[in-house]
Amino acid sequence: MRMLEVRNLTKRFPVEDSIFGKPTRFLTAVDDVSFGVERGAVFSLVGESGSGKSTIARLICGAYKATSGEILYMGKPIGRTKEDYRNIQMIFQDPDASLNPRKNVFAIIEEGLRIHKLGSSKERREKVMGILESVGLDRLTVKKFPHELSGGQKQRVSVARSLILQPELLVLDEPTSALDVSVQAQTLNLLGDLQKEFSLTYVFITHDLKIVSQFSDYVGVLYLGNIMEIGPVDEIIDNPLHPYTQGLLESVPQPDPSKKAMNEILKGEIPSPLNPPKGCPFITRCPKAYEPCTEKPGLTVVGDRLVRCHLYDTGGN
């Protein structure tokens, strides 16, 4: 059984109401998305800003309700029990926004144990100290407040706060993108080590395919709320099939500066989800668009992956 199963998930936000307060216009942030995550695996969702990846993270963690579709955790609809909220934790992009500036590090990390009424005060203290060590923070950090910490230290506190409840699944929403380049690699290494140490399962949200290639087992490529390509990370990085995945890979900075201007695919901006193109979601930017693309393609099985592109309707080319 897969630990997490996302089935036909759709999320629409109302953006305009009638004079009677009834929603008349919707923004589709997530459109019929399905994927599964095995225990102990790292599954990444990758796409540009506006692709719907953070909305999916919030749906998994119960911050949003799905418009339709379902999310199963260990075979059962997610969020039915208090245990689900302990077992699934989220790490946010911006630790500044997620840490209470009025609480010290000890109180921030201990809070989950208090909420769930876990352990005596002595046991909670021991747990906080143990987890601080696991995330590479000095014991003296407990007395500090968020404003006294660096960006990397704050993100380590966020990680410690999530791990204190011994979750099974971590949903990480761009956990390094608000950090200086110099500490991004350290934080990624830490997350990799913790995944092994605590046998964690990750859903990793990022816009950066370079991180995906280092860090994941499977990847889903999102565009305007749609899965465009999904499958084993090595296959997708070595041989991207979808034109959008090819474009994302070409935008990864190259060590050779002469290759920088090569991205001929991802020209222009992602269209507004308020006004998505008709037919294939990628049609306005796709250099391979042709007549059939005015109809929205379904997902086609190509080897071990699924690809949403008419070029593969008959089994690939």
| Beta carbon of residue 225, minimum distance to ligand SF4 (angstroms, whole number) | 15
| C-beta of 202 vs 244, nearer to ligand SF4 | 244
d(CA 250, CA 209) in angstroms, rounded, equals: 10
| Residue 69 neighbours by CB distance under 10 Å | 17
Shortest distance (Å) from residue 316 CB to ligand SF4: 12
Residue with smaller CB distance to ligand SF4, 12 or 242: 242
Q: Check binding of 132 to ligand SF4 (CB under 6 A).
A: no
Examine residue 241 and tell whether it contacts ligand SF4 (CB under 6 A): no
Given the structure tokens 């565009």, which residue do they identify?
223
Question: In degrees to the nearest 10, what's the CA dihedral of 163, 165, 168, 170?
Answer: -50
Helix, strand, or coil (residue 278): coil
52 binds ligand SF4 (CB under 6 A): no
Residue 211 as a binder of ligand SF4 (CB under 6 A): the answer is: no
Residue 221 near ligand SF4 by CB under 6 A: no
- The answer to the question of residue 280 lying near ligand SF4 (CB under 6 A) is yes
Within 102-131, the residues that bind ligand SF4 by CB under 6 A are none
Is residue 224 at the binding interface for ligand SF4, with CB under 6 A as the rule?
A: no
Which of 29, 45, 293, 302 contacts ligand SF4 by CB under 6 A?
A: 293
Binding to ligand SF4 by residue 289, rule CB under 6 A? Answer: yes
Is 47 an interacting residue with respect to ligand SF4 (CB under 6 A)? Answer: no
Q: Which residues, other chains included, contact 86 with Cβ-Cβ below 8 Å and sequence gap of 6+?
A: 112, 116, 165, 166, 167
Residue 212 engages ligand SF4 in binding (rule: CB under 6 A):
no
| Angle at 262 (CA atoms; ends 256, 264), nearest 5 degrees | 165
CB distance 197 to 40 below 8 Å: no
Among 47, 167, 243, 247, binds ligand SF4 (CB under 6 A): 243
Q: In what order do the strands lie in the sheet with 76-77?
A: 23-37, 4-17, 68-73, 76-77
Measured in whole angstroms, how far is the alpha carbon of residue 252 from the centre of its chain? Answer: 18
Among 224, 286, 302, 306, which residue sits at the site for ligand SF4 (rule: CB under 6 A)? Answer: 286
Cα 39 versus chain centre, distance: 16
Q: Which stretch binds ligand SF4 (CB under 6 A): 80-88, 113-121, 186-194, 282-290?
A: 282-290
Give least dist CB 300 to ligand SF4, A. 10
CB 88 within 8 A of CB 168: yes
By beta-carbon proximity to ligand SF4, the closer residue of 71 and 309 is: 309
Smallest gap from Cβ 311 to ligand SF4, in A, equals 5
Kind and range of the H or E element at 215? Answer: helix 209-215
99 close to 147: Cβ distance less than 8 angstroms: no
Structure tokens given for 164: 């204190």
Element (H, E) at 95: helix 95-98
Contact 308, 224 (CB under 8 A): no
8 Å CB contact between 179 and 155: yes
* 282 counts as binding ligand SF4 under rule CB under 6 A: yes
Closest CA to 91 of 262, 7, 257, 205: 205
With contacts defined by CB under 6 A, how many residues of the chain interact with ligand SF4? 12
Q: Minimum CB separation from ligand SF4 for residue 297, in Å? A: 5
Please identify which residue in 72, 74, 252, 283 interacts with ligand SF4, judged by CB under 6 A. Answer: 283
Determine the interface stretch with ligand SF4 among 75-83, 134-142, 164-172, 304-312 (rule: CB under 6 A).
304-312
73 binds ligand SF4 (CB under 6 A): no
**For binding to ligand SF4 (CB under 6 A), which residues are involved?**
243, 280, 282-283, 286, 288-289, 293, 297, 309-311
